[in-house]
Amino acid sequence: MTTVALTLLPERRTLQAPHGATILASAQEAGVDITATCGGRGRCTSCRVKFVSGAVPPPTVMDELQLGDALVREGYRLSCQCRVMEPVAVLVAPPLDERSFQILGAQSPSEALARVEIDAGIRKEVVTVSLPKEEHHQTSDLEEMLAVLGRTPDDVSPALLQALPRALRQQRGEVTVTTFGSRVLAVEPGDTRLLKFGLAVDIGTTSVVTTLMELESGEELASVSSLNPQAVFGADLMSRIAFAQLDAGNLRKLRTRIVGLLNQHIEQVAADSGVLPKWIYKVVIVGNTCMHHLLLGIDPSHVGLAPYAPVMRHALVLPARELFLKVNPEARVCLLPLVAGFVGADAVGVALATRIGETPETRIAVDIGTNGEVLLGSRDRLWACSAPAGPALEGAQLRHGMRGALGAIDQVWLEDGDLRLHTIGDAPAQGICGSGVIDAIATLLEADILDWSGLIAVEGRDRLPAPLRGRVSVRGEERVVTLARAGEGGAAREILLTQDDVRQVQLCKGAIASGAAMLQRIAGVAPDQVSELMLAGGFGNYLSIRSALRIGLIPPLPASRIRYVGNAAALGAQLALMSETERARAETIARRIEHVSLAAHPDFQDVFVDCMNFPRT
């Protein structure tokens, strides 16, 4: 195979890339992470590189579309589109210095646990085992222990036998036996009955939250949250599915990334709490269908192809060693059931936490995120659909978008005839995150800078106050609004909201709003019949309800009937961790939920197009 020298700056690392391979693929194969938000399909600018030496290849159509004339002339290309044909050196575009991420962890479960009976299913029993004493007595350590427990050899993993002789003899046969159902999970010398812990994990497309809990009291001992490291291979589900389809080894990369992060989380919560990982006996995991499959190493390809069928939907319980999780090797890992290809265990967790299927009144729960879901129902019936907002509300695919991190513009309002901004941590503005974009668009609608169709109304800027007038302009053929000028509010660069940014947000809000509208139409529920709208998920709990209503992101209900419910998927995982009754209830809920395929509904296109527009006032 012919190779070509590819030098990546600023690390000054030189790779021997296969001739004709893309820069992105070559870098990732060598273990160098170049972020590819769209999964390497030429639909974003995150993987851009600048040619420093060697011949600059002609731009592709996607280079022209995504980067624009100015960057193309400066020697920028998309690394996913650019193939290595001769020795070159390229500067990898530096990502924004995104630190101190604003990730919504799982809220305290105390109120939710107050209404359930705590019974995690983990039992610890102190027993004294008579050790074999006479040679002619045909017995064994295992047989003597099972005789005391009243169990069979099938209840004990062969791996557990490796430590059994030492455990039985350290305290003269006194041991603590840990069980879950019929399975023996651990045999420990002495009395360790007070040491029972578990993990609740919410694996989202964008972020992952892990919570350590004491299984007897339900007390939260530690919690940690991080960005999902799979995002470097694609910000949304379809991008990751496409990445997995490219090469058999890519599925392994995606799985390794998430398992590695979970083990980092385990190490962190153990260090923060002083709990040894060997005392963690139960783990409950929720996530959407794609995240579920990737964790298990299941090829998600057909989840991304019509009819979008998952490989499996049932609840699963397996030992931690099969997932390479660094807790007790025999700990039971419980994955909650899935509903459909794009309605996963996270939606089941939301339904479990909000009790949406148990009240006589009709309620709506909207889990807003990259792969959002909408649930509507009462104790009579329960519907759900996928509302794939995509990564734009996480800052991706926007000109100056970024995640909710230090320096992100997260609030925008109008004051004294001009825009006012707030950034996370009151740090100098670096870009704009999802909640800031929603605020900005709502503010521009109020100021008549945006019309109901989403067009930046440059033609009407003469009617605006002078400070605002100077922020609205046309650059080439592109309509833009300047949110922050270089130096303004400490901004190191100009931060714009472009016409294409507005269109991206319209697509996102159209997906969410049309999901809720279609479920209401199918259920025959008028807006005045909805008693409550619950906003769930990391993004949903940071956005302004007023701004969300103004742009039509959520159904037009009185603000008094809208409330934040936190990270409900993570709370659902905690309930299933602490109560086997709740875990069984999750299976009942999954069977009850009626999945609605929006794309297959004859009215959906009309509803979606209507929901993309902004409400007229």
Distance CA 21, CA 19 (A): 6
Any long-range contacts for 446-451 (C-beta under 8 Å, 24+ apart)?
446/414, 446/550, 447/414, 449/481, 450/502, 450/614, 451/614
Query: Cα 107–105–290 angle (5° rounding)?
Result: 120
Q: Token digits for 606?
A: 């009309």
- For the chain, give every domain's residue range: 3-92, 122-189, 345-391+506-612, 399-495
pLDDT for 327 equals 98
The secondary structure element, H or E, covering residue 533 is strand 530-536
List of residues 6+ apart from 588 with CB closer than 8 A:
none
Distance CA 332, CA 404 (A): 34
Q: What is the CATH number of domain 345-391+506-612?
A: 3.30.420
Judged against a pLDDT cut of 70, whether residue 60 lies above it is answered with yes
pLDDT for 539 equals 67
In this structure, the strands spanning 88-92 and 122-128 are: unpaired
Distance CA 258, CA 297 (A): 11
Judged against a pLDDT cut of 80, whether residue 68 lies above it is answered with no
What angle in degrees, to the nearest 10, is found between the helix axes of 580-592 and 568-578? Answer: 130
pTM of the prediction? 0.85
What confidence category does residue 111 fall into, taking pLDDT thresholds of 50, 70 and 90? low
What confidence category does residue 541 fall into, taking pLDDT thresholds of 50, 70 and 90? low
What confidence category does residue 137 fall into, taking pLDDT thresholds of 50, 70 and 90? confident
What confidence tens digit (pLDDT) does each residue in 140-153 have?
Answer: 989 889 999 999 99
Nearest to 564 by CA among 539, 586, 547: 539
Q: Is 276 helix (H, G, I), strand (E, B) or coil?
A: coil
Q: Provide the total of helices (H) and of strands (E) in the chain, helices listed first.
A: 16, 26
Q: Are 83 and 57 in contact (CB under 8 A)?
A: yes
Q: What percent of the chain is predicted at pLDDT more than 70?
A: 95
Residue located via tokens 């030429």: 42
What confidence category does residue 95 fall into, taking pLDDT thresholds of 50, 70 and 90? low
pLDDT for 540 equals 63
Average pLDDT, the chain: 89
Distance CA 24, CA 246 (A): 13
pLDDT for 73 equals 84
Judged against a pLDDT cut of 70, whether residue 231 lies above it is answered with yes
Torsion of CA 348, 353, 355, 357, to 10 degrees: -10
What confidence category does residue 558 fall into, taking pLDDT thresholds of 50, 70 and 90? very high
Distance CA 116, CA 578 (A): 9
Q: Are 373 and 385 in contact (CB under 8 A)?
A: yes
Q: What is the CATH number of domain 122-189?
A: 3.10.20.880
Q: What percent of the chain is predicted at pLDDT more than 90?
A: 58
pLDDT for 100 equals 46
Q: Are 419 and 488 in contact (CB under 8 A)?
A: no
User: Of the CATH numbers 3.90.850.10, 3.90.79.10, 3.10.20.30, 3.30.40.10, which one belongs to the domain with range 3-92?
Assistant: 3.10.20.30
Count of residues making up the chain: 617
Query: In this predicted model, which residue has the larger pLDDT, 283 or 249?
Result: 283
What confidence tens digit (pLDDT) does each residue in 7-50 have?
Answer: 988 878 898 989 988 999 888 888 888 888 777 878 777 788 88
Q: Is 375 helix (H, G, I), strand (E, B) or coil?
A: strand
Say which range, 86-95, 550-559, 563-572, 588-597, has the weakest mean pLDDT.
86-95
Residues 353-375, mean pLDDT to the nearest whole number: 91
Nearest to 576 by CA among 282, 190, 373: 282
What confidence category does residue 253 fall into, taking pLDDT thresholds of 50, 70 and 90? very high
pLDDT for 119 equals 94
Whether 122-189 shares its CATH topology with 345-391+506-612 is answered: no
What confidence tens digit (pLDDT) does each residue in 163-221 have?
Answer: 899 999 998 889 999 999 999 999 999 999 999 999 999 999 888 999 999 999 999 99
Say which range, 397-401, 458-462, 505-509, has the weakest mean pLDDT.
397-401
Query: In this predicted model, which residue has the larger pLDDT, 487 or 578?
Result: 578
Tell me which amino acid residue 434 is. G
Q: Is 282 exposed, middle or buried (0-12, 13-18, 19+ CB in 10 A)?
A: buried
CA–chain centroid gap for 500, Å, is 25
Judged against a pLDDT cut of 90, whether residue 577 lies above it is answered with yes
Distance CA 90, CA 351 (A): 49
Q: Is 575 helix (H, G, I), strand (E, B) or coil?
A: helix
